[in-house]
Amino acid sequence: MTGVEPPAVSGVEPFDAVDVIRAKRDGGAVREPALRWMVDAYTRGYVTDPQMAAFAMAVLLNGMQRDEIRVMTDAMIASGERMSFAGLGKPTADKHSTGGVGDKITLPLAPLVAVFGVAVPQLSGRGLGHTGGTLDKLESIPGWRAALSNDELFAQLRDVGAVICAAGSGLAPADKKLYALRDVTGTVEAIPLIASSIMSKKIAEGTDSLVLDVKFGSGAFMRDIDRARELARTMVALGTDSGVKTTALLTDMNTPLGLAIGNANEVRESVEVLSGGGPADVVELTVALAREMLTMAGQPDADVEKALADGRAMDVWRRMIRAQDGDPDAVLPVPRETHVVTASAAGVIARMDALPFGVAAWRLGAGRARAQDPVVHAAGIDLHVKPGDTVAAGQPVFTLSADDPARFARALEAIEGAWEIGDEAPEPTAIVRERITA
C-alpha cells in the first residue's frame, strides 16, 4: 500500500484502470499509488463510468482493507477543496445521520448545541427515495435559502453559532460523481464506499469533531445491526486517522422517529421540541446527540435539557432561520387534501414498520424519485399513535396529506400490512443501542 507514483510520460497515464479492477476483482488490495490515481483519473474523466462501475462492484463483493479505505477517502478529499474553521475562535462539532423515516433531529440539534458556544457547521443534503432530506424540510419555511457562500457560512457561525446549508460543489467532487454512479449500478450498499463517501465530505469540511448517527432497522440504510456496527466502526476509524475526533451512536430505525413524516410537518415537530415539548423519542435522541457533541467539544456537563426548556435553543433557531432569509413566524405549507386512517378494532398498536411509512410519504409527494424532482412540502404523514399506545375502534391512527388526492391509493398500498393492532404492547426498546469510539 506504499510507494511513489510513477511519473506520467507526456500524456501517458501511469496506471491502467483494467489492472486496478482486476486486482480488486481477484480479492487483492490495490496499492496506494494506483488507488489514488484511479480516483483522480475518474474525477477528470479518463477512467470511464463503466470501468468505475466494475471497480465499485468488485469492492461490493470483496471489500477493502482499512488502509485501502483510508487511501480512497483521502483521494476523494484531495479531489476538491478543504475548509478550516481555525479562525472562528471556538470549537466546531458536526453530526451526520445515515438517514431514516421522520429523522428531523438536525433541526433542533444544531441550535441546541450552539447555545453552549460550540459552532455547528451542518452541511446537509436533499432526500432521495424514502429518506427525507434536511434541506427539503427547511425549504418549507418561506424565504429560507440553502445556498450560502463560504463568507456567509463563516459569518453566520461567528454571529449565530449554527448553520444548516448545502455543501458547496468544491467539497469532494469525486464523491459526487461516484455516488451518482453507485446509485444506478447496485453498489450503494458497499460499506467501504459508503464510509469513504460520508467521511470524505465531513473531513474536507474541517470540523474539529464529528458524531455519527448510524441507524439500523427496517427504515434505515443498514437493516442489520451488525452491518450498521461495521459501517460505524469503519467511519470512526477514518475520522480518527484523519485527526477528527469521531464517535458513533447506533440508533433504532425500525419505527418512524417522532409523529411527523414529511417536510413542513417535520419542521413543526422540530419547533415543538425547541419549545420544550415534542415526541419523547425525538427529544431523547436530540438530547443524546447533543450531549455527545458537547462532550467531544469539551463540555461534558452542559445542561441540554434546560436549554430546551428555557427557550435558549429556540432563540438560536430563530436567529439561524432569519440569517438565511427565512421567516420563523411564517405559516408553513398546509395540504390541500387529507385522508384519515382509523383503527378497525380496539387494542394496542403492536407494530409500525418504518420503511413502508417512508415509502408512503414519498408517494404522497414528500420525497423524490430523481435528484431533479421537486418535493411537495405539505405532503406527508402524521401519526396519532405509536407502538405501545392503546386505541379504540374508529380512533384515528394516522393522517395522509397530499395536494393531489389521486396519490392516496398508492400510499395506502405501501402501508398495507405495515402496522397492526394486537392485545399486548410490544417490549420497549432503547433508541440508542451502542456508542462506538476509536
175 is catalytic: yes
The backbone torsions φ and ψ at residue 326, rounded to the nearest 5 degrees and listed phi first, read -90, 160
242 is catalytic: no
Question: Catalytic one among 94, 175, 213, 252?
Answer: 175
Nearest-angstrom CA–CA distance, 148 and 230 = 34
Nearest-angstrom CA–CA distance, 280 and 302 = 20
334 CB neighbour count, 10 Å cutoff: 12
339 is catalytic: no
SS3 for 322? helix
Count CA atoms within 13 Å of residue 372 on its CB side.
Answer: 0
140 is catalytic: no
Question: Catalytic one among 96, 137, 339, 407?
Answer: 96
Question: Catalytic one among 201, 202, 368, 407?
Answer: 201
Written as one string, the DSSP assignment of 245-313 is EEEEEEEE-SS-SSSEEESHHHHHHHHHHHTT-S-HHHHHHHHHHHHHHHHHTT-TT--HHHHHHTSHH
Question: Catalytic one among 182, 229, 233, 318?
Answer: 182
Rg (CA), the chain: 22
Question: Catalytic one among 140, 196, 197, 401?
Answer: 197
CA of 81: how far to CAs of 24, 173, 201, 206, in Å?
A: 28, 9, 10, 10
96 is catalytic: yes
Q: Which residues have a Cβ under 8 Å from the Cβ of 345 and sit 6 or more positions away?
A: 393, 421
Q: What is the DSSP letter of 330?
A: S
- Reported for 225-229, long-range contacts at CB under 8 A and 24+ positions apart, including other chains, are 225/250, 225/433, 227/191, 228/98, 229/434, 229/436
Please list the active-site residues. Answer: 96, 175, 182, 197, 201
